[in-house]
Amino acid sequence: MHLSTLQTDWAPLLDRWAAWVGSLTDEGIAANIAYKDIKGNAYETPAWQIVLHVVNHGTHHRGQASGFLRALGYKPQPLDLIGYYREKATAASA
């Protein structure tokens, strides 16, 4: 994936996620979603568990990217969510 692809595709994908989340009901978030993994194994999982998986999986990859950058001698930006919220609050109050 190239940076230009990410810059082009990220905003529409985020909009689709926001629209999906905005349309959820209690029944919808509890409903099973049928899918297959990359090996073709079929599963059904409640939507809320898939959402938590996506967040957790992203955290895993952020940690990997941070480790790779450190191994190359770079200092990555802080990854803690609370740090992001603190920075955002500071910027809003300025």
What is the 3-class SS of 8-62, one letter each residue?
HHHHHHHHHHHHHHHHCCHHHHHCEEEEECCCCCEEEEEHHHHHHHHHHHHHHHH
Query: Where in the sequence is the domain holding 11, given as residue range(s)?
Result: 3-93
Distance CA 94, CA 21 (A): 31
Residue 68's H or E segment, with its range, is helix 47-71
Confidence of residue 1 (pLDDT cuts 50, 70, 90): low
- The pTM of this model reads 0.66
Higher pLDDT, 62 or 27: 27
Q: How many domains does the chain have?
A: 1
Kindly tell me if the per-residue pLDDT of 54 is higher than 80. Answer: yes
